[in-house]
Amino acid sequence: MSAPLPEEFHLLLDRDGSLIVFQQKDASWAGLLAFTSEGLARQFCAISHLDVAEIVSIARDDRESISRLIADVKRRAVRNLLLDLDYATGRCLRVEFDGAGFGAAVEHQFIPGGHRR
């Protein structure tokens, strides 16, 4: 059973305007970081010491923008969206991409400390 998705996703942009992704050490793929609130996004940045230029949001029902977003990140070996990643514990909700939209959402556990930025 898939977990419900939020009405809005908050995404992180670096100083060059690129979306920030998370990659487990030695993994061939990455996940797009997204949060259910701006507060959780800011908390992740503070704990991880991630230098973020901007937090942007996209509505779950904005299918055209979601489709473009997924097409863009798939070119960068990004396979899913990592929702509310807890930097300290490695827990998050992994939302698979299904074509140009979102597919199954399942609980996921990364190995804490085993990451690249």
Among 52-61, 74-83, 108-117, the range scoring the smallest mean pLDDT is 108-117
Q: Quick check: pTM over 0.75?
A: yes
Asked if residue 106 is part of any domain, the answer here is yes
Over the stretch 36-51, which tens digit does the pLDDT of each residue have?
Answer: 999 999 999 999 898 8
32 domain-assigned: yes
Answer yes or no: is 70 within a domain.
yes
Beta strand spans in the chain (E):
8-13, 21-24, 30-35, 54-59, 78-83, 91-98, 101-109, 115-116
Q: Does any domain span residue 1?
A: no
Give CA 59 to chain center in angstroms: 14
More confidently predicted of 8 and 114: 8
Range of the domain at 63: 8-116
112 has a pLDDT exceeding 90: no
Over residues 44-69, the mean pLDDT reads 93
Cα separation, 40 vs 44, in Å, equals 6
pLDDT of residue 113: 56
What is the amino acid identity at position 85? Answer: L
Q: Residue 72 falls within a domain, yes or no? A: yes
How many domains, in total, are found in the chain?
1
Residue 2 domain-assigned (yes or no): no
